[in-house]
Homo-oligomer: A and B are copies of this chain.
């Protein structure tokens, strides 16, 4: 069984969203599965000493233009949300709670969160919106509500972020496959060629 593609992202990352729309098809083409890992870029950027792209002078304006252009290039619906970026702790916590019961539902939930935020402009930092998207993905929201407010899942997400940093993750999207790291939606074709050829 070939190793899965490990896929890290923040729900507030435009390039992470585009990658989430593309990765399943790439993986299927190469006979790989994908392990999804929502993380929080806040603590990761702090550790690396970087800032969100859109906050940088000049580069920020270019980035906003490039988000939309890359989405169109890949035929992915996109509109930069008015409130950007947003906190994605609640969505990440809900993801891992759902994933513990059913990985496929969690993945469906993740795609719904991304589309709600980047295609429909909804506020995915709002716990009510998160619960609605969880329900739409078929999760048992009555069982989710309690644990979502608990300490355990906060610690779990923190541990996932720590593990990501230990693996070298410093941005979104970030992939590792067969030990090889790839950062950015623009490295997906390079990663596919790497998998296809066994590296070079």
Contact = CB atoms under 8 A, between A and B. Distances in A.
A67 interface: no
| Chain A, interface SS category | helix
Interface stretch (A54-62, A104-112, A115-123): A54-62
A59 B48 contact: yes
A200 B187 CA distance: 21
A170 B73 contact: no
25 contacts: A47-B57, A47-B58, A48-B56, A49-B56, A49-B57, A50-B56, A58-B165, A58-B168, A58-B170, A59-B170, A59-B171, A61-B168, A62-B168, A62-B170, A62-B181, A65-B181, A66-B187, A69-B190, A69-B200, A72-B200, A73-B190, A73-B193, A73-B200, A186-B186, A189-B189
A57 B186 CA distance: 22
